[in-house]
Amino acid sequence: MSKKEYLDSLERLLADVPSEERQAALEYYTDYLEDAGPEGVAQAIEHLGTPEVVAAAIKDSINGDMGSGYTTETGYREGTPGANPYAPADQSSGGRSSQNGNGQSSQNGSGQSSHNKNDQGSYYSNGQSGQSGNGQNSQYSNEQTSPRGNGRSSQSDNGQNSQYSNGQQTSQTSNSQNSYDAAADPGTEKRQNKRMALGWIVLIIFGIIFFGIPVFSVAGSLLLAIIATLLAISLSGFAVFLALLIAGGVLAVIGIVKLLVFPGLGIMMAGMGLILLAIAMVALAIGIAIVRTFIPWLCRSIVWIFQKLFHVGGHRS
Amino acid sequence: MVFNTGATLLDAIVLSVVSREEEGTYGYRITQEVQSVLDVSDSTLYPVLRRLQKDECLAVYDREFAGRNRRYYRLTQQGYAQLGMYQTEWMNYSEKITGILASGRNRL
């Protein structure tokens, strides 16, 4: 790959980063390859890794994956435990170390991009993350057997899982056994999660069925009772109005008639009649008030209750 | 190297390397110098430089070299303060580690 091809490719890969960042990165790498000199350019490109690798490192840093806590007074406290260096690293296999060397350079050539999202890991393993399943191991192997150029970018001290979760790299490596093991973990985990989620959904559905029916029937009957009561009150209000209206009217008329014969009794009856008419009006007013306010309120409440139930149910599932 | 080099240590190393040149220095050379002591991949250093620049520990300027503009990095006041902090911290830390490792008894 020529310098121009390399930079063009990098520019394409950085198409989705802010133009300012892209520009800065391209200037840097243009400078970088210029400074490598005409005869050093090929080697510099080889050492840099594929444009994909370089682009991934740039994007990672833009996304803030490079850590940010460096200004603290007490020094940087980022968790960097990494893979256990004392983990049973199979260092005895000479065959493997040469495999590492080979697999790696062929990866470089084939243009695999495999950056990881891991802070620490990204410093070491932007290139050949496939080997990180046994990070320490491959590192030793490379240092023993391969020239510096190949060995350099193969150390992924940590982040086995995070790398594989990118899902691109599982088949890249020569020591595929290790990478397969590491890659299997997130997969099983995902399946387990899925199964657990399914279990929860079934449980919730059963819960809704078993607890929902009584709850719904109780709520429903309560609601019906309330509606019936309110209707009864308003109806009886109208009935009382009618009865009192008739009684009051009759009494008033009788009273006025009696007034001519027995003035005292007549006045009393006419007064009672008028009082009954007044009470009839009050009853009418109450009936109207119930019909006008309580029933719309009731409708709104019912709608609200159902909305609430519906919303909650949807949220759960 | 069997020991991890965290982001902070890399920051400190880059700041130190850049600070050694009064006029500042440029990406390719920084990479070479860092790699002379530390096994980091080449694509690692640009993000570090960019971040230090954004954090205003490094300033950039262009200077003509061989008929083209080359981007130089130099430390800002804040960069020097940061480097000083790193130096103190590292001396403390490395002394302690050296002390405890040196006191270990290898009974092989």
Looking from the CA of A72 toward its CB, the CA atoms found within 13 Å total 10
Tell me the nearest-neighbour CA distance from A4 into chain B, angstroms: 16
B64–A contact, CB cutoff 8 A: no
Partners of B9 on chain A (C-beta within 8 Å) are 76
Q: What is the dihedral of CA B60, B62, B63, B64, to 10 degrees?
A: 160
Chain A contact for B39 (CB, 8 A cutoff): yes
B44 shares contact with chain A (CB less than 8 Å):
yes
The pLDDT, as a whole number, for residue B99 is: 94
Distance between A11 CA and the closest CA of chain B, angstroms: 15
Q: Determine, for residues B29 and A35 on separate chains, whether the beta-carbon distance falls below 8 Å.
A: yes
- The span from the CA of A256 to the CA of A267, in Å, is 7
Contact B18, B30 (CB under 8 A): yes
pLDDT digits (tens, 9 = 90+) for B50-76: 999 999 999 999 888 888 888 999 999
For residue A234, what are the CA distances in angstroms to A285, A292, B4? 10, 10, 82
Residue A260 pLDDT greater than 60, yes or no: yes
Average of per-residue pLDDT values in chain B: 90
CB contact under 8 A, A82 and B4: yes
How many other C-beta atoms lie within 10 A of the C-beta of residue A244?
22
Residue A248 has pLDDT above 80, yes or no: yes
Other beta carbons within 10 angstroms of residue A158's beta carbon come to 24
Question: How far is the C-alpha of A135 from the C-alpha of A163, rounded, in Å?
Answer: 12
**CA distance linking residue A203 with residue B93, whole number of Å:** 54
For residue B11, what pLDDT is reported?
A: 92
* pLDDT value of residue A313: 52
Report the C-alpha gap between A309 and B15 in whole angstroms: 60
DSSP chain A: --HHHHHHHHHHHTTTS-HHHHHHHHHHHHHHHHHT-TTTHHHHHHHH--HHHHHHHHHHHHTTTT---TT-TT--------S-TTS------HHHHHHHHHHHHHHHHHT-----S-HHHHHH-SS-GGGGGGHHHHHHHHHHHS-HHHHHTT---S-HHHHHTTSS-TT--SSHHHHHHHHHHHHHHHHHHHHHHHHHHHHHHHHHHHHHHHHHHHHHHHHHHHHHHHHHHHHHHHHHHHHHHHHHHHHHHHHHHHHHH-HHHHHHHHHHHHHHHHHHHHHHHHHHHIIIIIHHHHHHHHHHHHHHHHHHHHHH-
The stretch A150-155 carries a mean pLDDT of 40
| Beta carbons within 8 Å of A257's beta carbon, 6+ residues apart | A266
Between these two residues, A288 and A183, which has the higher pLDDT value?
A288
Q: How far is B30 from chain A (nearest CA, A)?
A: 10
- Of B91 and A1, the structure prediction assigns the larger pLDDT to B91
- A chain contacts of residue B45, beta-carbon cutoff 8 Å: none
Residue A45 pLDDT exceeds 80: yes
Of B8, B46, B85, the CB nearest to A28: B46
Amino acid at A43: Q
B71 with A28: Cβ contact below 8 A: yes
Label residue A191 by pLDDT band (50, 70, 90): low
pLDDT at position A47 is 84
Mean pLDDT, chain A, whole residue set: 66
Predicted local distance difference test score (pLDDT) of residue A121 = 39
Give the tokens for residue B53.
């620049």
Say whether residue B84 is in contact with chain A using an 8 A CB cutoff.
no
Which stretch, A4-18, A89-103, A132-146, has highest mean pLDDT? A4-18
* Residue B67 φ/ψ, nearest 5 degrees: 75, 15
Separation in Å, CA of A187 to nearest CA in chain B: 28
Number of A/B CB contacts below 8 angstroms equals 119
pLDDT at A81: 39
As a whole number of angstroms, the distance between CA A198 and CA A192 comes to 10
Nearest residue, CB atoms, A49 vs list B8, B43, B70: B43
Spatial distance between the Cα atoms of B25 and B31, rounded to a whole number of angstroms = 10
Contact B10, B44 (CB under 8 A): yes
Instruction: Indicate whether A104 pLDDT > 50.
Output: no
pLDDT score at B93: 94
Does B50 lie at the interface with A, CB-CB under 8 angstroms? yes
Q: Which stretch of A25-34, A134-143, A181-190, B96-105 has the lowest confidence by average pLDDT?
A: A134-143
Residues in chain B: 108
What pLDDT digit, counting tens, does each position of A196-225 carry? 788 888 888 888 778 777 777 887 888 888
| Residue A111 Ramachandran class (φ > 0 left, ψ -120 to 50 alpha, else beta) | left
pLDDT at A195: 74
Sheet of B58-65, strands arranged across: B25-26, B68-75, B58-65
Indicate which of A35, A73, A122, A129 best probes the interface with B, i.e. most B CBs within 10 Å of its own CB. Answer: A35
Q: Indicate the pTM of the whole model.
A: 0.43
Q: What percent of chain A has pLDDT over 90?
A: 1
* pLDDT > 70? residue A267: yes
Tell whether B78 is within 8 A of chain A (Cβ): no
| Residue among A47, A66, A82 minimizing CB distance to B47 | A66
B49 contacts in chain A (CB < 8 Å): 28
Instruction: Tell me the per-residue pLDDT of B6-17, one tens digit each, with 9 for 90 and over.
Output: 889 999 999 999
Residue of A123, A154, A157 to mutate when probing chain B, most B C-beta within 10 A: A123
Q: How far is B50 from chain A (nearest CA, A)?
A: 8
Our CA-based measurement puts residue A58 at a distance from the nearest CA of chain B, in whole angstroms, of 6
The dihedral built from the CA positions of residue A22, A23, A29 and A30, taken in this order, carries a sign that is positive
pLDDT digits (tens, 9 = 90+) for B73-104: 999 999 999 999 999 999 999 999 999 999 99
Cβ contact, residue pair A70, B8, below 8 Å: yes
- Residue A291 is predicted with a pLDDT of 79
CB pair distance less than 8 Å for A151 and B2 = no
Choose among B50, B70, B93: nearest Cβ to A61.
B50
pLDDT tens string A53-93: 888 888 888 776 544 433 333 333 333 333 444 444 444 44
In this structure, the number of other CB atoms found within 10 A of the CB of residue A23 comes to 13
Task: Please give the pLDDT value at position A219.
Answer: 79
Chain B residues with beta carbon closer than 8 angstroms to that of A124: 40-41, 44
